[in-house]
Amino acid sequence: MASTRLYLDWNATSPLHPAAREAVLRALDMFGNPNSVHGEGRAVRAAIEAARRQVAKLAAADPAHVILTSGATEAANMVLTPDFRMGRTPLAVGHLYYSAIEHPAVREGGRFPKDKTSEIAVTSAGVVDLDALRGLLEAHDKTSGLPMVAIMLVNNETGIVQPVREAAEIVHAHGGLLVVDAVQAAGRIALDINELGADFLIVSSHKIGGPKGAGALISRGEVLMPRPLIHGGGQEKGHRSGTENSLAVIGFGAAAEVALAEFETRNAMVLALRDRLESGMRAAAPDVIIHGADGQRAANTTFFTLPGLKAETGQIAFDLEGVALSAGSACSSGKVGESHVLTAMGNDPKLGALRISLGFSTTAEDIDRAIAAFAKIAARRKPAGEAA
């Protein structure tokens, strides 16, 4: 096993960016409650509002439309609700439609009862089937309330970019609301809430180099908003009560700022590394299947199947070689199960797949080490048809 570990699981979480670390360290000395009116409280409030502006800029949004949360899961549970209000007037949302490849935080349906949720099919290419979406919305019972549609911008397993702009046109033509999970998109593809046509965006701190424990629900406006999930002191304009996690929020803001500043150079570098990785993988094992390779993907993600190698076996084998990667989503209490994304794409989920994801500190030497580990594991796998 290599003497040093190689981290290639950036879609699960990103190492803390040095700029975010510095911001958090500075914030440790800012102990005031941001909701207090004295000088100590105002200093923390000013830092939080600066972070809010940084997060808003990452999505080309209005800072006034950024609600700070404990993470993307809380943001999803907040916005996925039948209970909305337009100003002070209650507004019902009758049904939630989500794509078959959504993250579990969305697939659970938030505050919708199960019988008020439906799945939108995806194509074999791993892209949301817009005709299926259109058919579901045409059949929607308008008397039950508005339809809500949840479609992620970048899939967390495959890295495939979804046709959100086109979906937004369909959703709005049917009077619906569009919620977009942009967790894997932020910092990796251009993000503009208005250009996308999303009514709500969900983003997360620890996916872009910030600390865990912070995220945001970003809205396109302030008139139409969900009923609060957490009640209490009325923080975040009454949308999310509870004293803000100032350390995590300030680190989040710093990470968002640097992700935007380094956007072009970082993504060009990561794309070149991913191409190097996939070329090396194909050379070592020509039968490797790289899911979504022919479509539009975020630059940092490779989701692959090695015939004859189970996902859990492969993950352990790479770990023993000192390489950290994942078998799909890493957000299910450490479980390695069948990929619902592979299933939705029409693949046999028992094939399994592994995900390598890169980030701002990945190097060419890292990629060469990963290729060497891949080649070793591929060479000793069982022949196709035998148990791995």
- Residues designated as active site: 331
Extract long-range pairs of 330-337: CB within 8 Å, 24+ residues apart.
330/9, 330/11, 330/12, 330/13, 331/12, 331/103, 331/104, 331/105, 332/104, 336/311, 336/312
Which amino acid does the sequence have at 144?
S
Helix (H, G, I), strand (E, B) or coil at 256: helix
**Measured at the alpha carbon of residue 372, what is the angle toward residues 370 and 373, in degrees to the nearest 5?**
65
Contact 360/266 with Cβ under 8 angstroms?
A: yes
- Percent of the chain as helix, strand, coil, to the nearest 5: 40, 20, 45
| Contact call for residues 104 and 76 (beta carbons, < 8 A) | no
Q: Which two tokens stand for residue 356?
A: 């390598």
Contact (CB, 8 A) for 371 and 280: yes
DSSP 261-294: HTHHHHHHHHHHHHHHHHHHHHHH-TT-EETTTT
Residue 271 main-chain phi, psi, to 5 deg? -60, -45
How far is residue 86's CA from residue 314's CA, in Å, rounded to a whole number? 50
C-alpha span between 225 and 232 (Å, rounded): 18
**Which three-class secondary structure state does DSSP give residue 250?**
helix
Paired tokens of 277: 């990785």
Listed in order, strand segments (DSSP E) in 182-277 are 200-204, 215-219, 224-226
User: Beta-carbon neighbour count of residue 357 at 10 Å?
Assistant: 28
273: nearest Cα among 347, 168, 367, 143: 367
Torsion sign across C-alpha atoms 62, 64, 68, 74: negative
